[in-house]
Structure 1
Amino acid sequence: MDRRSVIAGGAALGALWLAGCRGGEESPRPRPSTDTSSPPPSSSPPSSPATPEPIDPRLDGTVATGLNVPWAIVFLADGTALVTQRDDASIVRVTPDGRVSQVGDVPGVAPGGEGGLQGLALAPGDESALFAYLTGPDDNRVVRLEFDGERIGRAEPILTGMAKAFNHQGGALTFDRQGHLFVAVGDAAQAQTAQDRDSLNGKILRIDQEGRAVEGNPFGNRVWSLGHRNVEGLAWDGSGRLWASEFGDQRTDELNRIVKGGNYGWPEVEGDGGDDRFVRPAATWSTNEASPAGLAISGERAFLAALRGERLWQVPLDGGKAGKPRAFLTGELGRLRSVAVAPDGSLWVGTSNTDGRGDVRRGDDRIVRVAISA
């Protein structure tokens, strides 16, 4: 289902609004620098001497082409992947040898601006329980989708009422080992909501599979952490620590280690504000280097897909700290949005050149395989 004609008018209006500010992840960006070794600002915490040495990711072929803004990639037990297409509001199945088949259209999606069909997560141990984050006509919401292994069926809303806007939707989903669902919700361009504990926006939430707050949440509601502007990537390291990639505003993008009840400062600070009330970023970038969307962790290394920066960032991790980021694939594929660790240990990386902000290349949007073995 092609909804591009439906959203064209909204995109045009959004472009007028965005002309005067950076806005969100979709703002027109200058060409990326070719400097692939720029360190994080000096305000970033020093890494442990035991931080693992970086490896050299390399392109290892194209998996699939002709996709529509592939936003999230989730692997099934058989090694195939489910991929959300943001503006088409559909899910496709992609095999390792590149066969693409329709799994189904997700009802109730109203694509526009940075919104549409976004995050995707499978409940641990139950591939029939598929959860999606989407922008509807009136709000952002999380729905549970029936999935029989071939097609999706009924969509049941489990969490509604997150404010929507042209940008800053958030949208990342991930499950922990106990089956709790973590939901990244953007501030919907209303920055002060990020500091309001009673608002769902500008937060990372922890809910059960019915959408209810989990016992033990720090504020007695669905909120797990607050002070977020726009988180589009969530991933777990091998020790069970949660990490998030976050879009800054005018100066600084972030990689954050997420802790229970943590306040990450937005809009009071951007990046490291030197204020002890707020959790310090693990790593930071200037906004023209990053706009970090998707996040994946393999072993002791985090990988961030950069939209404006048009590169893949690798960040070594050690004991909850981050080492010096290094950039790869700079400018080779255009805007990078999604990244996931495949069952064979490679990365699948999705481009975002058909979203109205990039230069469309032949075959876009695509998913490529990136080898990361040492």
Structure 2
Amino acid sequence: MRSLTLVCAALLVAATACTADPAPPTSAPTSAAPSAPPSATAESAVAGEPRVLVSGLEVPWGIAFLPDGSALVTERIPGTISRVAPDGAVTRLGEVEGVTPTGEGGLLGVAVSPDYATDRTLYVMLTTADDNRVVRLVANSDGTVDGSRDRQQEIVTGITKGGNHDGGRLAFGPDGYLYITTGEAGRGEPAQDRDDLGGKILRVTRDGAPAPGNPFGTQVYTVGHRNPQGLAWTPDGRLYQAEFGQQTWDEINLIEPGGNYGWPTVEGQEGRDGFIDPLVQQPVRNASWSGLAYADGAFYAGALRGERLFRYPLNPDGTLGEPQVLFRGEFGRIRTVVATPDGRSLWFTTSNRDGRGDPRADDDKIYVLPLS
């Protein structure tokens, strides 16, 4: 497989023995993350080369599959929603009013109701002039979307916006509730404040109310995040999350209800009482993890600054094995990674037109990666 290199998960070996960029020493693994078995071979990771599914997009941000196998795709800067078919055909469905695409904000994540086939309901997260919020929309009978403000039903509002770190990922969990990642918006201590919606994972009903069983009786599910991005579940219902660090470590966490993931007190694996350490970490320059997907017995994490796709095998005990790095530098910044409903391939997007990348011909793109 071209451009497939192996990096050392703990980053403890000498630079001459590891194909990752040189990194500072990591802290010792915690008891929750024992030493990993050898990584999978290149042949077991993917079954073919990525192919371009769609090109000419402007910062595609969210992807949510529909019952017919096509997907809804949001574009952050123009604030549009499109339907992309498995053969790459694109149908523009509508534009969401009130989107203010400043900094890293704009039209962000999208999630499809578990009952979309009958209720045609979708949820999007957007940055407005005042805040970040999640709204509910109902598609027309032909699938088009009227995103005018009088058709938007606000379900969560008042999430602090920032020039950076707006979170923005939406996903329905296997429990039927909507999970929302929110960034700390450049602030510190509010990520530890249970009454502040920033720097959190939220878990809500379809109307935006606190989901039954939430640990604090509010919309807040976990605290102490910096800029949580990817969300993905294993078949047995465990939730994993990818997160931007600041100067040193990006994280992949196993999410526990009511868990405190440390920010701004802790970054990476420090083993401090009262905080949950990440299962794995990578230097920020190698990663800046955004999308996260589970498929074929492994997690796939898209890296923005690192411009690569990580593959972490899932161990039976829920920990993660040694990573593989795929396609380093080949496609630029990788934003969103999702598994197709049949689990046989991944869709991933580039984010080269977001003001931080080096746009290439016909960027941005959605790629399809066949899996074994």
Per the normalisation by structure 1, the TM-score is 0.87
Q: Indicate yes or no: 2:356 matched with 1:361.
A: no
Q: Residue 120 of structure 1 corresponds to which residue in structure 2?
A: 110
Over the matched positions of the two proteins, sequence identity in percent amounts to: 46
Q: Which runs of 4+ in 1 moved over 6 A?
A: 50-54
Q: Indicate yes or no: 2:145 matched with 1:152.
A: yes
The alignment's C-alpha RMSD in Å is 1.8
Q: Deviations over 1:118-164 (max 9, x none)?
A: 11111212241101111111000000011135211222111100110
Q: Contact conserved, 2:250 with 2:284, CA < 8 A, in 1?
A: yes
Q: Contact conserved, 1:64 with 1:366, CA < 8 A, in 2?
A: yes
- Number of matched pairs: 341
Q: Contact conserved, 1:65 with 1:366, CA < 8 A, in 2?
A: yes
Task: List alignment gaps of at least 5 residues for structure 2.
Answer: 12-25
Q: Contact conserved, 1:140 with 1:163, CA < 8 A, in 2?
A: yes
Q: 1:35 to 1:126 in 2, by over 3 A?
A: closer
> How many angstroms does 1:38 deviate by?
3.5
Q: Residue 320 of structure 2 corresponds to which residue in structure 1?
A: 322
Q: Contact conserved, 1:59 with 1:368, CA < 8 A, in 2?
A: no
Instruction: Specify which of 201, 206, 212 is matched with residue 203 of structure 2.
Output: 206
Q: Which amino acid aligns with 1:329?
A: F
State the SS of the aligned residue for 2:341.
coil
Q: Deviations over 1:38-97 (max 9, x none)?
A: 323453422565987673334231101001101111111111111110001011111111
Q: Residue 158 of structure 2 corresponds to which residue in structure 1?
A: 161
Q: Distance in 2 between matches of 1:69 and 1:176?
A: 25
Q: Distance in 2 between matches of 1:141 and 1:198?
A: 16
Q: Distance in 2 between matches of 1:83 and 1:235?
A: 18
Instruction: Specify which of 261, 266, 277 is matched with residue 264 of structure 1.
Output: 261
Instruction: Specify which of 168, 171, 175 is matched with residue 174 of structure 1.
Output: 171
Q: 1:56 to 1:178 in 2, by over 3 A?
A: closer
Per the normalisation by structure 2, the TM-score is 0.88
Q: Deviations over 1:263-311 (max 9, x none)?
A: 0000001001220211110110000110000111114200011000000
Q: Contact conserved, 1:47 with 1:322, CA < 8 A, in 2?
A: no
Task: List alignment gaps of at least 5 residues for structure 1.
Answer: 1-32
Q: Which amino acid aligns with 1:235?
A: A
Q: Contact conserved, 2:298 with 2:314, CA < 8 A, in 1?
A: yes
Instruction: Specify which of 45, 48, 58 is matched with residue 56 of structure 1.
Output: 45
Q: Distance in 2 between matches of 1:103 and 1:297?
A: 28
Q: Distance in 1 between matches of 2:105 and 2:223?
A: 21
Q: Distance in 1 between matches of 2:40 and 2:332?
A: 28
Q: Distance in 2 between matches of 1:372 and 1:224?
A: 32
